[in-house]
Structure 1
Amino acid sequence: MAYSKDNLEIQSMIARFCEKYGDRGFISFRKAPVIRGTQYLEPIIRAIEDKKVLRLYYLPFYEDKPYFNEVHPYMLREYGFRWYLVGLNEFRDQVRTYALDRIRDLQESPGTAYRDGGFDATSYFRYAIGIIAPPGEPSQIRLAVQKTQAQYLITQPWHDSQNILWENEEQVIFSFRVHPTYEFKSLVLSLGKDAVVLEPDELRK
């Protein structure tokens, strides 16, 4: 996961503050749940650095039994207190995302030559919110949000493509150019009755 210079400076400042004042309640952090699968971080990082193919014994939520995948690892991505591996699936010849907490075993696959594929994380996740980046063109989405709730989106945008198209005293109309993934739909639903999808029609249903 990449951090900007500003984020690193903020983290350093907070670390110094906590070291100086200890547990005196000046700063409160959201308590993270138990993060599973972190034991695979080191071998995955090593495989990325050494350009080694990994053999994953993987159990998706929608399957009853785990199965093997051969993956050319490209990057690690953190989202929502979970770590994910992004890499090329050898059998499907597609870039896929794998949750580390769903991995049941992991080994190097020395018999398969590593394929770099020219993967570029910025391009791959350009129209994504979260960790899923479906193939194909993103959707042009218009969202009407109640004026007070809209301030949260204005001060903390959901995506780089977010723009304000129009506003009045009651609501703000936002536009997004993103894939309407589960993560995006969850953000919209979190606003409840204060948000209405105007387009596309298939997202209104």
Structure 2
Amino acid sequence: MATARAERLVNLVLCLLSTRQYLTAEGIRRIVPGYADAPTDEAFYRTFERDKSELRDLGVPLEIGRNSAFDSVDGYRIARRDYELADIGLEPDEAAAVALALRLWDSPELTGAARGALLKLRAAGVEVDERASGAIEPRVRTSEPAFPALLAAVQSGRVVSFDYRRPNDPQPRTRTVQPWGVVSWRGRWYLVGHDQDREATRCFRLSRITDRPEAFGRAGAVSRPEDVDLLKLVAGVDRDPPPATSARLWVEQGRAQGLRRRASVVGQQRLDGVDGDVLEIELFYPDSAASWIAGYGPDVVVLEPDVLRKSVHEAHLGTVAAFSGAEVDG
């Protein structure tokens, strides 16, 4: 029974996350696997109310509303901007737990149920946001061009070579490395492995790789030593954290729950006729935080610092240009 409830909750979240419309309880009953088995209307509504309460207890932000003035009953949906989390730093044991959860999601039972929910959603004539179909599935996000080739080399166990530019040295130099793993640490990505030219263990920041890494040699020739902790090696290279930057943001009331979890409310302010809260947040990597904040659209406005405000504004202009196909003059 616990497994059936968990699958039903996953299907419900995926359904509400995948639609831009408000779905009524009866619509959800027809679409989401697990509800159609209710023997009576009363049994369905009891189950649905319990599921809604459980999702709220888990921090899932359910929105209630109507698609038009002609609708007679309320509907439900989940706004992606409030559901998604920002980048999270994990300890090694926490990362292991996430890996186990990812294996569970990859199981045929859950993926099959999720795909079935999307098919029923489309069959019911509900507009589905294609991007949301993978929002529940954990993903690794990185903008480093060298990342895919290095990860492939680690997974295949092959030696890799690339041109690498050291700090204060404008001339890149070729490195030949036995790759052990790719690690994220404090907003940066690193390759850890054995440098064959220097006969020593080295960490390489991906942003300093100037070309596309090339793998060569026999697959399976490289394996990570069992006693090596990749994260500790990287932490030893990047010991000093960057200074925190304090930012003040205006957030519309009831919006941007993901951001609110990391910030403190310090006041209220009415902006362009809309009531909102003034939040303070500490950012260690304002450059990467700008794209995260920009994702909340008009629900969040940067009050200060001015550099962050301009970065978010430029991100908004870039999004407009991408969708309009024209260059936008800021």
Scaled by the length of structure 1, what TM-score is found?
0.50
Q: For 1:168, what is the secondary structure of its paired residue?
A: strand
Q: Which residue does 2:160 correspond to in 1?
A: 55
Query: Which residue of 165, 170, 175 corresponds with 1:69?
Result: 175
**Which position in structure 2 is the counterpart of 1:129?**
none
Q: Which has the higher strand share?
A: 1
Identify which of 192, 195, 198 aligns with 1:88: 192
Point out the structure with the larger helix share. Answer: 2
Distance 2:99 2:154 in 1: 19
- Is 1:18–2:118 an aligned residue pair? yes
CA distance in 1: counterparts of 2:129 and 2:307, whole angstroms: 41
Alpha carbons of structure 1 residues 4 and 135: separation in structure 2 relative to 1, 3 Å: same
Tell me the SS of whatever aligns to 2:278. Answer: strand
The root-mean-square deviation of aligned C-alpha atoms, in Å, is 5.5
Q: Which residue of 1 aligns with 2:321?
A: none
- Is contact 1:56–1:70 with CA below 8 Å preserved after alignment? yes
1:8 aligns with 2:105: yes
Q: C-alpha deviations, 1:30-61, integer Å up to 9, x for none?
A: 399xx9885775443132xxxx6x3233589x
| Structure 1 residue 195: Cα displacement | 0.3
Matched residue, 1:30:
131
For the pair shown, the structure with the greater C-alpha radius of gyration is 2
2:154 is aligned to 44
Instruction: List runs of 5+ in structure 2 lacking aligned partners.
Output: 1-94, 135-142, 166-170, 271-276, 311-330
1:147 aligns with 251
SS for the counterpart of 2:288 is: helix
State whether residues 87 and 96 of structure 1, in contact with CA within 8 Å, keep that contact through their aligned partners in structure 2.
yes
CA contact (8 A) 1:144 1:195 kept: yes
CA contact (8 A) 1:142 1:173 kept: no
Give the partner amino acid of 1:46: S
Pairing partner for 1:169 from 269, 276, 283: 269
Q: What percentage of aligned pairs have identical amino acids?
A: 9
- In structure 2, do the counterparts of structure 1 residues 39 and 142 end up closer, same or farther at CA, with 3 Å as the change threshold? closer
Q: Deviations over 1:46-103 (max 9, x none)?
A: 32xxxx6x3233589xxxx9863334332377xxxxxx97422636933423699x52
* Higher RCO by CA contacts (8 Å cutoff, separation 6 or greater): 1
Residues 143 and 175 of structure 1 are in contact (CA less than 8 Å); yes or no, is this contact kept in structure 2? yes
TM-score by length of 2: 0.35
The whole-number CA distance in structure 2 between the counterparts of 1:141 and 1:41 is 32
Q: Could you report, residue by residue, the CA deviation over 1:133-183 in whole angstroms, capped at 9, with x for unpaired residues?
A: 96512332321112328932xx2239x8x23152323442222252x2531
Opposite residue 267 of structure 2, the aligned amino acid is E
1: distance between equivalents of 2:304 and 2:206?
28
Distance 2:116 2:241 in 1: 45
- 5+ residue gaps, structure 1, are 78-83, 125-132
